[in-house]
Amino acid sequence: MGGVFVRKKHDLISKMTLEEKASLCSGLDFWHTKNIKRLGIPSVMMTDGPHGLRKQTGDSDQVELGKSVPATCFPTASALAATWNRELIYQVGEALGEECRQEKVGVILGPGANIKRSPLCGRNFEYFSEDPFLSGEIAKSHIQGVQSQGIGTSLKHFAVNNQEYRRMTIDALVDQRALHEIYLRGFEIAVKGAQPWTVMGAYNRVNGTYCCESPFLLKETLKESWGFEGIVVSDWGALNEKVMSLRAGMDLEMPGTDNGHDRILADAFRSGELDEEVLDRAVERILEMVFKAEKTLAEDTTYDQEAHHALARKAAGEGAVLLKNEARILPLEKGSSVALLGAFARSPRYQGAGSSLINPSRLDTLYREMVKIAGEEAISYAPGYPLKGNKVKENLIRQAVETAKEADMVVIHAGLPDIFEVEGIDREHLRLPESHNRLIEEVASACSRVVVVLSNGSPVEMSWLDDVQAVLEGYLGGQAGAGGVADILYGIVNPSGKLAETFPVRLEDTPAYHYYPGGPKTVEYRESVYVGYRFYDTVGKEVLFPFGHGLSYTTFAYNDMELSQSSIGPEELLTVSVKVRNTGDLLGKEVVQLYIAPESPTAFRPKAELKGFEKVSLQPGEEKEVLFTLDGRDFAFYNTGIGDWQVESGRYMILVGASSRDVRQSGEVEVESRTHDLPIPRQDRLPAYADFPEDGRIASSDFEDLIQRSLPPNTFQGREEYTINTPVSDMKNSFIGRQLGQMMRKQVQQMVEEDPESPNARMMEAFVKEAPLRAMMTFDDQMNRGMVEGLLMMIKGKFFRGLIRFLKNR
Q: Is 95 in contact with 74 (CB distance < 8 Å)?
A: yes
In whole angstroms, what is the distance from residue 138 CA to residue 89 CA?
A: 7
**Phi, psi (deg, nearest 5) at residue 598:** -70, 135
Instruction: Give the ranges where 455-545 is alpha helix by DSSP (H).
Output: 481-489, 533-539
Name 676's Cβ contacts closer than 8 Å, sequence gap at least 6: 647, 648, 649
At 396 the pLDDT is: 98
Instruction: Give the ranges where 114-171 is alpha helix by DSSP (H).
Output: 132-147
* Cα–Cα nearest to 472, from 451, 457, 487, 492: 451
At 137 the pLDDT is: 98
* Cα–Cα nearest to 303, from 576, 70, 626: 70
Question: Which helix H or strand E contains 11, and what residues bound it?
Answer: helix 2-15
- Residues 594-629: pLDDT tens digits? 999 999 999 999 999 999 999 999 999 999 999 999
Name 739's Cβ contacts closer than 8 Å, sequence gap at least 6: none
Averaged over 364-369, what is the pLDDT?
98
- The pTM of the full predicted model, rounded to 2 decimals, is 0.96
Instruction: Of 426-430, 472-476, 710-714, give the lowest mean pLDDT range.
Output: 710-714
Query: Position 297: which residue type?
Result: L
**Phi, psi (deg, nearest 5) at residue 73:** -95, 100
Q: Percent of the chain scored above 90 by pLDDT?
A: 81
User: Taking the C-alpha atoms of 749, 751, 754 and 760 in order, what is their torsion angle to the nearest 10 degrees?
Assistant: -90
Query: Position 420: which residue type?
Result: F
CA angle 499, 122, 431 (to 5 degrees): 70
At 1 the pLDDT is: 44
Q: Is 520 left (phi over 0), alpha (psi -120 to 50) or beta?
A: alpha
> How big, in percent rounded to 5, are the helix, strand and coil portions of the chain?
35, 20, 40
Query: Position 42: which residue type?
Result: P
In whole angstroms, what is the distance from residue 22 CA to residue 570 CA?
A: 47
Q: CB under 8 Å, gap of 24 or more: what pairs does 628-634 form?
A: 628/575, 628/576, 628/577, 628/594, 629/573, 629/574, 629/575, 629/576, 630/573, 630/574, 630/575, 630/576, 630/594, 630/596, 630/654, 631/573, 631/574, 632/570, 632/571, 632/572, 632/673, 634/596
Per-residue pLDDT at 754 exceeds 80: no
Give the dihedral sign, CA 226/227/229/231. positive
Q: Is 245 in contact with 234 (CB distance < 8 Å)?
A: yes
Per-residue pLDDT at 131 exceeds 60: yes
The verdict on whether 235 is a catalytic residue reads yes
Q: Is 100 in contact with 115 (CB distance < 8 Å)?
A: no
Per-residue pLDDT at 724 exceeds 50: yes
| Given 235, 262, 364, 730, the catalytic residue | 235
For residue 728, how many C-alpha atoms fall within 13 Å in the half-sphere facing its CB?
24
pLDDT band at 359 (very low <50, low <70, confident <90, very high): very high
pLDDT band at 36 (very low <50, low <70, confident <90, very high): very high
In whole angstroms, what is the distance from residue 717 CA to residue 206 CA?
A: 21
At 547 the pLDDT is: 98
Averaged over 710-732, what is the pLDDT?
84
Averaged over 483-492, what is the pLDDT?
98
* Cα–Cα nearest to 681, from 730, 729, 648: 648
Averaged over 377-385, what is the pLDDT?
98
Q: CB under 8 Å, gap of 24 or more: what pairs does 373-378 form?
A: 373/334, 373/486, 373/490, 373/492, 374/332, 374/334, 374/338, 374/490, 375/334, 378/334, 378/335, 378/336, 378/337, 378/338
Averaged over 658-683, what is the pLDDT?
92
Q: Is 803 in contact with 788 (CB distance < 8 Å)?
A: no
| Arithmetic mean of pLDDT over the chain | 94
What separation, in Å, do the N-terminal and C-terminal C-alpha atoms of the chain show? 47
